[in-house]
């Protein structure tokens, strides 16, 4: 009986202690589990906040050196890329195909601007040898940059899908190489062109009439045979010159920014330079197509001016009458022997 009583007393003493310890351990485990869950939730929230900050272009810390090395994702760069791909690339295609196609249609409907009475056979000096050199260096370098630039900007859409990887790699590498090294040639010729020809390119009141009658190139309706007054350069040539001057400046500066990595420009500045370069190129391409069409196909006798430096007297009187009258009066009229 005594032993049985001692066992009962021991049970009564130990059982509360065991229950207390068990409950304490359970509470600790539950608390630890809850703390772990909270930590995991906080970690997930922290990761999400970090990723949102990265995508927003926030800067952090990195051991890498260089301009904006602490920014993992450049928001302005992505936005600029979208503008280029979604708007500027189609605009370049439109500038090439649209303007060229419009002139083809105009040519078949209107035909060229013929010389009234035909060629006289008397050739008048219009451009010096220096002028011819400047023109052709500028023209060849400009056309080279246009062709390689179109390949660089639109090639992945119109060329890459139809050629092998090796052909595409060789083409795009060659285009980039040629584009970079012809650029300085263009800039040099552009500077000489602007400096030498600017005095001849000021707009006059009579240039307004040239635009109103489309330069006398229309061969039908009320505009037929209307040849407006024009000095050494007509209003269309002046517009082309000033377009080349302004956007040639933009394309030259932006091109230098893009090909000289030693400038250490911020990525926003590089993307802005790329967009300005593309927009300027689109405008110059459109005006170049117009200039080539009007100087060759649409103007009978016009191409001869930039081949030999001489123009037919009939052409001079019909298209640049004020200039022809001026050189007759001041004694600088010079015929080809």
pLDDT at 82: 85
Residue 105 has what pLDDT?
Answer: 92
Q: Please give the Cα distance from 229 to 19 (Å, whole number).
A: 113
How far, in Å, CA of 278 to CA of 268, rounded?
Answer: 15
Q: What are phi and psi of 220, to 5 degrees?
A: -150, 165
Query: Which 3 state secondary structure label does DSSP give 206?
Result: helix
Residue 316 neighbours by CB under 8 Å, 6+ apart: 124, 126, 323, 324
Q: What is the structure's pLDDT at 205?
A: 94
**Cα–Cα dist 323/325, whole Å:** 5
> What tokens were used for 189?
């010729």
What is the pTM assigned to this prediction? Answer: 0.79
| Residue 44 confidence (pLDDT) | 53
CB 129 within 8 A of CB 316: no
Task: Establish how many alpha carbons lie within 13 A of residue 296's alpha carbon, considering only the half-sphere containing its beta carbon.
Answer: 9
Exposure string for 158-180, b = 16+ CB within 10 A, e = fewer: ebbeeeeeeebeebbeebeeebe
Q: Identify the pLDDT of residue 29.
A: 47
Would the CA dihedral through 104, 108, 111, 112 be positive or negative? positive
Please give the pLDDT value at position 294.
86
Q: What is the dihedral of CA 285, 286, 290, 293, to 10 degrees?
A: 60
Query: Taking a C-beta distance cutoff of 8 angstroms, is the pair 113, 226 a contact?
Result: no
How does DSSP classify residue 123?
Answer: E
Spans in the chain with pLDDT lower than 70 = 1-77
Per residue in 168-215, pLDDT (tens digit) is: 999 999 999 999 999 999 999 999 999 999 999 999 999 999 999 888
pLDDT on residue 296:
85
Could you read off the pLDDT of 34-83 as tens digits, one per residue?
556 555 555 555 666 655 655 555 555 565 555 566 666 666 667 888 88
How far apart are alpha carbons 275 and 232 in whole angstroms?
35
**Cα radius of gyration (the chain):** 37
Q: Three-class SS of residue 163? A: coil
Tokens of 215: 């330069």
**Residue length, the chain?**
337
Q: Which residues contact 88 (CB under 8 A, 6 or more apart)?
A: 153, 275, 278, 279, 282
* pLDDT the model gives residue 260: 87
């Amino acid at each position: 009986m005594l032993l049985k009583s001692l066992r009962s007393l021991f049970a009564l003493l130990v059982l509360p202690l065991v229950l207390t310890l068990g409950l304490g351990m359970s509470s600790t485990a539950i608390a630890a589990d809850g703390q772990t869950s909270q930590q995991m939730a906080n970690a997930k929230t922290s990761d999400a906040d970090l990723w949102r900050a990265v995508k927003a272009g926030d800067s952090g810390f990195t051991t890498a050196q260089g301009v904006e090395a602490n920014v993992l994702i450049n928001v302005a760069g992505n936005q600029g890329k979208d503008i280029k791909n979604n708007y500027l690339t189609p605009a370049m295609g439109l500038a090439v195909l649209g303007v060229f196609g419009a002139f083809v249609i105009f040519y078949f409907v209107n035909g060229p601007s013929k010389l009234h009475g035909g060629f006289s056979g008397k050739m008048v000096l219009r451009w010096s040898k220096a002028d011819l050199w400047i023109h052709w260096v500028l023209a060849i370098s400009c056309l080279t940059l246009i062709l390689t630039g179109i390949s660089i900007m639109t090639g992945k859409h119109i060329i890459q899908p139809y050629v092998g990887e090796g052909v595409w790699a060789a083409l795009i590498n060659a285009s980039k190489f040629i584009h970079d090294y012809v650029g300085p040639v263009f800039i040099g010729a552009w500077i000489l062109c602007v400096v030498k020809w600017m005095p001849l390119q000021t707009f006059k009141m009579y240039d307004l009439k040239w635009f109103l009658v489309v330069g006398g190139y229309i061969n039908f309706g009320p505009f037929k045979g209307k040849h407006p007054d024009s000095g050494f350069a007509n209003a269309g040539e002046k517009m082309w010159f000033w377009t080349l001057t302004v956007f040639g400046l933009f394309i030259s500066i932006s091109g230098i920014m893009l090909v000289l990595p030693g400038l250490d420009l911020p990525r926003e500045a590089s993307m802005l330079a790329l967009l300005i370069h593309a927009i300027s190129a689109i405008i110059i391409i459109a005006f170049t197509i117009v200039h080539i069409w009007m100087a060759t196909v649409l103007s009978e006798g016009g191409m001869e001016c930039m081949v030999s430096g001489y123009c037919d007297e009939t052409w001079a009187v019909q298209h640049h009458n004020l200039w022809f009258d001026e050189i007759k009066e001041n004694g600088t009229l010079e015929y080809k022997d």
